[in-house]
Every structure is written in structure tokens, then in C-alpha cells.
Structure 1
Amino acid sequence: MSERAGAGTAVLVPLALAQFICSFAGSAMNVMINDISTDLDTSVHGVQLVITAFLLVMAALMIPGGKLTDLLGRKRCFVAGLALYGAGALLSALAPGIVVLFLGNSILEGIGTALLIPPVYILTTLLFTDLASRAKAFGAIMAMGGVGAAAGPLIGGLITSGIGWRATFGFQVLIIIVIIVLGRKITDPLPAETGRSFDVGGTVLSAVGLVTLVLGILAADNNIWLTLALLAAGSLVLAGFFARVRVREHAGKAVLVSTSMFKNKVVNLGLVTQNLQWLMLLGSSFVVATYLQVVRHYNAIETGVIFTPATIGLLGSSLLAERLAKRREQRSLIMAGFVLTVAGMGLLLAFAGLFTSPWPFAPGLFFIGLGLGLMLTPSVNVVQSGFGDEQQGEISGVSRCVSNLGSSLGTAIAGTILVSGLTSHSYAAAMIVLAVAGVGGLGAAAFLPRERAVAAGPA
């Protein structure tokens, strides 16, 4: 394995665990919907809002988080993010009501994740420099991230049924402590650029624009005119953000994200595939988990166990990332992943209404996990390898923003369709929307180049 000094298993373990716990947090709450809504006297829609807001805060602040890694240092941002995340998890565990849960889970954990995740990908790219070693490192990280998202319902269900939903947040606190201890061995390969300025105005505009767009989707089941107004307002704010970026670039001033990040066609296609992958993963997790609990009346552990095939499929294909990267084009892996995932959704649609037993969900969930695990790593490698060391802070922030925006959109769009009716018909409609997104991802992947990688990365 070709690595920079200090890289290796000791460095990779805490980075992979960090991705695991953040992905776990995004899906584990899906099996606690009934328990939380009953305990805190709220509705399914209220819990959906907390879940979506957590994913949205991550997406909205991921680019600023990536920028801060350059200004403050990757190791410093990583530790600060872990501490903030742990504080949010502890507050969530003690929450007396939905407002405090929103503050702890959606706000503090969301901000903490936005600070700690960009360093994970920047450090991996800087420390593992050739295609094979980077594929193996990203494979481990994406495997842990995918398993965290896929196994979140199972682990969360076990803890919720055995102890209570609050203990799930206690579990997150324990993992954060472990990561902080293991992370002491991580060294930052590049110095912090403390003299650079930070684009506060751009941060505000980008965050407001993204939040407004997703809020518009969440409002769809209540007021169509409010939805249209919010979507239009969010689009205008984002347009203003990009106009501001161009003006500041021409004036030689600091910007939140350079327009050069979006001039690489191959990287743009990679970002589209990332967005749609996480949209399908978190969207299908929320839809299936909510349907099983609210419509089929399964408890947390029963719902979690049903997700086991997805975890097995995702873990198996993710662990093969290094071997597959040597033998197959990244384009082929991404396309095959979308085909398998869409096929899995088709199986979920075909079998869900025909049987009263939950086990017919297993084949579809297995194919979804297998497909997503197959394409998560090559998509990340396409994007991260498209830029040199000096731009890793920016592209990591953009990459994670796009992925987490996909997660929040998946929960918002598919979740809103499902919650509007909470019937077998709304379940089918939500799954069809997710499958259509998968077909769109397949189309984007078809335009990727046939070479195995965009670039091997700086040596």
C-alpha cells in the first residue's frame, strides 16, 4: 500500500468509525418513530422533521465545514466536530420534549457532523495517494458509512427494544469517546492556513437557500402554494449565492466555494451519482421503516431485523472495493450499482403488497444494499481524485454537502409522500419516486469516462 508517513490502520479506524456513527445517526431514528412520538407526545411528521433537519443541517454546513479545515486545520476541526456531536447526542438522550431533541439531534449533531466529516475525506485523500490504496481506504470508510446507514435500523431497534430509544443516543456518545481516544494518533499532513479569510456572507446565503428548498418539500402535504413559494425563494437565494461567488472571484476576494469546483464535467457527474445514491439509501430506509411500524405495526426490533439483508449486501460489496477497483472501471461499478438498487426497489414494490409476512422485503433490501455498496466507493474516488491537495478542503466539503443533501432530499421527498397518506398506496408511490431517481443516476453514470479513474491523485 502506498501511503504517506503515519497513514495506516491506526489512522483509518477512527476515520471510518466517524463516518459510521454519522451515517448511523441518520437512519437509526427511523425505527424509533413510534417510541419517540409516544414518549414525547408528538407525531410521525414531527419525528420526520427532526430526522430531515439533521441531514439538512449537515448538507447546508458541509461546504463551510470543508473550508474551515483549511483555515483551522484538519485535526482540529475533526476533534471539535466530535466534541460538538457528542454534546448533541447527550442532550438528545436527556430530551424532555421534541424541541430539545431537535436542538440536540438536528442542530448540535448536525453542526458537529459538518465539522468532522470533511477532515475524514481530506485526510484519507492526502494520506493514501495511489488508486489502489485510496480505493481500499475509501472502501473501508464508505463500508462503515454504508453499514452505519443500513445497520442503523437493526442496532437502533435492538437498543430501543432492550433499553429504550434514549439509550441509542447514549451509544453514540460512547462511540464518540472511542473515536476521540483513537484519533490521538492522527497527524495533520498539511499546516493550517490561518491567514486566509472566511466567506461568512456566502455561508449564510448557501445555508438559507438549501434549508428553504427542503422546507418547501416538507410543506408539500400541507400547502402547495407555500411549497411553491419556498422552492422559488430557495432557488433565488442560491442563484444570488452563485452570483456573489462570481463577483467576489473577479475581485480576488475569498469565496466559500470556487466556481472551478463545477467546471470538471466528470466530477460533476460523480457528484450527481453521489447525491442520488444517498437519496435512495436514506429515502428507502425511512419509507420502509415507517411503513413497517405505522402501517404493519411492527415494533423497533422487528423493523430493525428486517433491514439485516440490506446490511449484509452493503457490507459485502463495500469490502470488495479494492479488488473491484483493480479489475473493473469505476463507471461500470457505478452503473451496476444503480441497476441492482433499482431492481431491489422493484422487488420491494412487487412483494410488499402480496404477503403479510415481513420476509418478502429481504430480497429487495439485499439488492439495495448490494447495489449501494458497489457504487459508493467509486463515486467518492471519482470526485476526490479529480483535484489536487490544495483543493481537497473545498471538494470534500462540496462532495459531502451533495451527499448529505441527497440524504435529506430522500427523507423529505419520499417521507412526505408516505406521511401524507401512511397507506400501502403512498408506500408504493414513494418507492416509485426513489426508483425513478435511481434511473436518473444510471443515466448520469453512463456519461462517465471509461477509464478506471479520473486521476490517481497527487503523489
Structure 2
Amino acid sequence: MSGISTGSPRSAVRRIIAPLALAQFICSFAGSNMNVMINDMSRDLNTSVAGIQLSITLFLLTMAALMIPMGKLTDNIGRKRSFVIGLIVYGVGALITAFAPALWAVILGNSLLEGIGTAMLIPPVYILTTIHLPDIPSRALAFGIISGMGGVGAAAGPLIGGLITTGISWRAAFLFQALVIAVILLLSRTLTDPVPADPERPFDTVGAILSALGLFVLVMGILAADTSVPLMIVLVVGGVAILVGFFLWVRRRERVGKAPLLSTALFRVRVSNLALVTQNLQWVILMGTSFTVSAYLQVVRGYNAIETGVIFTAATVGLLLTSLLAGRLARRFTQRSMIVTGFVLCVPGVVLLIWLGSGTTGGWPFVPGLFLIGAGLGLMLTPSVNVVQSAFPQSVQGEISGLSRSVSNLGSTFGTAIAGTILVANIDAGGAAYGVAMAVVAVLGATGLIAALLLPRGPAPRGAVAPA
């Protein structure tokens, strides 16, 4: 099947990019804008910092846990239909959260409905891009714009959220999300799905339940670290056991010739596996830093939402600068080089945040570290996605897109859960707790650098594996 790409790559991309890129922007924005509302929301809803952290983490976890099943389900219900339904569910969740009387309503609207909506609409963003733009230049340009908008949404979330929260109310930030969703729905009217839906295609319900349950229990175990270590151990071990059961179930279905939720063949491409690791750890750095620094500034330093958001402008500027240069740099340097350079910038950035941020007063010491982290992420977000997506043929783009987005969102979840829990559990320790939390982020960033260095120096194979 041929895509719609005719003429120059830019003209092909312009036909589909607006609703898809804006959708990625608002979903990434939703993952980080609440970080600057911690004090305002906890006070208004009569809850604690831990309660807001729980809501943020559950939103990210819902996305991650459902991304693979929803990516697979797009084949049954159609890519555009999944995209539109996801937008509607997300919009309803945003409205519920805007008028939430208590934390339970925020968890219902933001954590669950917005999380489910995001899991439904994000896989189609990448699948539709891939099948509409079969030529590599057009696809690379589109992935660059979409991934860049995702990074900008996550990096700019604190600033935009801070401006709205201080100028109006934290509730207005969710009304803003609902408004953007309405705009995307209007823009998507001309979006088409070149591949017909296949309602008869088998769907692995048991696999979907096992994968989602395993991830949920595992992350809840991490969050339990600040209340009960024995409970944390039980939940983490239980989560790992369920995920092992999921992979055994997948292997069993493959042996008897049934379609599993996630083909094990997706993990047989070494370059894709390494790129997935880098994707995960990029978002660990971004969201772990965003939550930890935001919570520290507000709860320990007493900064308000707009003051916190303005400090995070450094990360947004860094990300925008390198994102704008990424297209030109991609013509001169390999994707591996850009991913490696990204981590080389990010890890020292985290170190600067620890060194300058924990022992000084004022907001300026956070600027150099945040700028380096933003610059590093701007360089490597797109190459990592490109390496993963381009390693597989069109026939499995639904699966690999769901896996790729799930891995990225798991990174966001782990970053907020691990670093956030370390900080929140020891919030009375102030700068010391902040330093430990950020040190963990630095170690995980260094792990990402090692994975990037192991990527092959030459171009990645395209369409290397077609799972049965």
C-alpha cells in the first residue's frame, strides 16, 4: 500500500502533522504541568504532596500500562477511530478534573480518564505517521516534529501550568487542556486512515490484563516505599512475577500459533532494544527531574507556581534550541552520535542541579543544569524514536508503536515514582533528600549513556523483523 506522500517531504508532512503533533504536545504537557501545582492543589483539595504525586504517577502509569493493548487494538477498531475516541475520553477527564471537589475526582478525571484517552490516541499518532509517510525523509521529518512537540510539551508544562495557575487557577489549566482537545478534534476531521480496520483480528485479552496488572502492581510497590518497606517488597516482587507470567503466556500463545498481545520477535533486534532503553531513560531524566525539582522548590523553598515555572523555562529553551537544530544535525551526524551527545549533556546537567541547587539560595543555580538537560533531550528524543520505528516493517507498526510509547511512558512513571518517592518520603530532610533523589536520576542517566554507546555506529537496519 502506498502512503499519501507526494512531492517534497515537507508538503507531505504538512497534510497530516497538525492534529498528530498537537495531540502529542498536550499529552506530554499533561504529564508535567501538575508538577507546579503541588501546593495549590494539595491546599485546595485538602490533601498532601504524596496525594498529588499519587495522582501524577497514576496518570503516567495508566498510559504506560495500556499503551501496548491500545496500540494493538487500533488494528481492530481503526487508527483514526481510536484517535478520536481517545481525544473524547481525554477531554471528558480534563473537564472532570477542572471541577474536582476532592482528590478522588482528580484521580478519576486526570489519572484514569486522561490516562486511558492518551493510551488510545498516542499509538495512532505514530502508526498514522508511518503508514501515511512511507518514504524515510518525510517520516523522519514528521517524527522530528511530533517528538519535538512532545518534548516541548513536557518541558514547557511547568511554565504554562505555572502561568495559568498563578494568573487564574490550577483548574483553568485543565480547561486549557479540554480546549486544546477540541481544537485537535476539529483539525482531525480531514485525517484519513489508509488501512481498513479489521474487527475480526484476534485480541489477546488475557495478555492485556496481565501486562497492565503487572506494571500497576510494580509501580504501586515503588510508591509504597515511603509507607512500608515490607509492603513495597511484596508489591514489587508480585509485579515482577505477574510480568514474568505475561511473557510465559505470550510464549505459549506463539507456540500454538495464536496471536499474542506482544510478539517476542520485537525483542530480537538488538539495535531496537538498545534504543528502547535510551527512550525509557530519557523520560526518566525529564520527568524525574521535573517532579523532584518542582516539589523541592515549592514544598521546601516555598516558591509559588509561576516562580517554579519560570525556572523551568531554562529546560524549555534548551530543548527548543536543539530541537530546531536536530534536523540539520541529523544530516551531518548519525542517530547514535546524537543520542550519545544528548546523554553527555543530560548527566552533567543533573550533577549541576545537585551541586548548585541543594546548597545555594535563589532560583538561578537551577538554570544551568535545567538548560543542559533540555538541550540533551532535544537532541536525542527524535533519533531514539526513529531507530525503533524504522527497525520494523509496516505490518507490525501497531505493535512496535505501542511498545515504544509504553516504554517511554514507563520512563516517565519510574522517574516520578522513584525520584519523587525518595524526596516525598524524606521531605523534612530538605536539601539532603533532594540530593539523593537527583543522584538516582544521574545514575539512571549514566545507564542510558552506556546503552547509547552500545548502539551500532552505522545506520540501523530498516524493517529487520516481521513477527509472525
The alignment's TM-score, normalised by the length of structure 2, stands at 0.96
Aligned with 2:16: secondary structure? helix
Aligned with 2:258: secondary structure? coil
Q: 1:89 aligns with which of 88, 94, 103?
A: 94
Q: 2:325 aligns with which of 302, 312, 320?
A: 320
Equivalent residue runs for 1:27-106 within 5 Å: 27-106=32-111
Q: Which runs of 5+ in 2 are unaligned?
A: none
CA distance in 2, matches of 1:412, 1:404: 12
- Which residue of 2 is the match for residue 371 of structure 1? 376
- Which residue of 2 is the match for residue 270 of structure 1? 275
Q: 2:225 aligns with which of 211, 220, 225?
A: 220
Q: 1:443 aligns with which of 436, 442, 450?
A: 450
Aligned with 2:100: secondary structure? coil
CA distance in 1, matches of 2:441, 2:187: 38
- Which residue of 2 is the match for residue 301 of structure 1? 306
Contact kept, 8 Å, 2:359 with 2:431, in 1: the verdict is no
- Which residue of 2 is the match for residue 280 of structure 1? 285
CA distance in 1, matches of 2:403, 2:330: 23
Q: Deviations over 1:162-198 (max 9, x none)?
A: 1100000000000000001001121112111222011
Q: Deviations over 1:101-149 (max 9, x none)?
A: 1000000000000000000011112222333322211111111101110
- Which residue of 2 is the match for residue 408 of structure 1? 413
- Which residue of 1 is the match for residue 441 of structure 2? 434
Equivalent residue runs for 1:56-455 within 5 Å: 56-422=61-427, 423-455=430-462
Contact kept, 8 Å, 1:325 with 1:452, in 2: the verdict is no
Contact kept, 8 Å, 1:312 with 1:369, in 2: the verdict is yes
CA RMSD across the alignment:
1.4
Contact kept, 8 Å, 2:38 with 2:52, in 1: the verdict is yes
Contact kept, 8 Å, 2:393 with 2:464, in 1: the verdict is yes
Does the C-alpha gap of structure 1 residues 226 and 180 become closer, same or farther in structure 2, counting only changes over 3 Å? same
One-letter identity of the residue aligned with 2:5: R
- Which residue of 1 is the match for residue 5 of structure 2? 4
One-letter identity of the residue aligned with 2:447: G
Q: Deviations over 1:262-287 (max 9, x none)?
A: 11111010110000000110110000
1:3 deviation in Å? 5.8
1:325 deviation in Å? 1.8
How many residues align? The count is: 457
One-letter identity of the residue aligned with 2:20: L
Aligned with 2:67: secondary structure? helix
Percent identity, please: 63
After superposing the two structures, state which structure 1 stretch, 51-60 or 338-347, moved more: 338-347
CA distance in 2, matches of 1:196, 1:258: 15
CA distance in 2, matches of 1:155, 1:102: 21
Contact kept, 8 Å, 2:72 with 2:399, in 1: the verdict is yes
Contact kept, 8 Å, 1:136 with 1:321, in 2: the verdict is no
CA distance in 1, matches of 2:461, 2:190: 31
Aligned with 1:451: secondary structure? coil
1:290 deviation in Å? 0.4
Q: Deviations over 1:46-88 (max 9, x none)?
A: 0000000000000000001100111111111000000000000
Contact kept, 8 Å, 1:129 with 1:457, in 2: the verdict is no
One-letter identity of the residue aligned with 1:158: L
Q: Deviations over 1:299-338 (max 9, x none)?
A: 0000000000100111111222322221111111101000
1:457 deviation in Å? 9.4
Contact kept, 8 Å, 2:63 with 2:116, in 1: the verdict is yes
Q: Which runs of 5+ in 1 are unaligned?
A: none
1:456 deviation in Å? 7.9
Contact kept, 8 Å, 2:13 with 2:138, in 1: the verdict is no
1:13 deviation in Å? 1.1
CA distance in 2, matches of 1:209, 1:291: 30
CA distance in 1, matches of 2:298, 2:400: 39
Does the C-alpha gap of structure 1 residues 83 and 170 become closer, same or farther in structure 2, counting only changes over 3 Å? same
CA distance in 2, matches of 1:457, 1:365: 37
CA distance in 2, matches of 1:290, 1:352: 13
One-letter identity of the residue aligned with 2:363: P
Q: Deviations over 1:4-51 (max 9, x none)?
A: 269431410110000000000000000000000000000000000000
CA distance in 2, matches of 1:324, 1:243: 42
Contact kept, 8 Å, 1:150 with 1:369, in 2: the verdict is yes
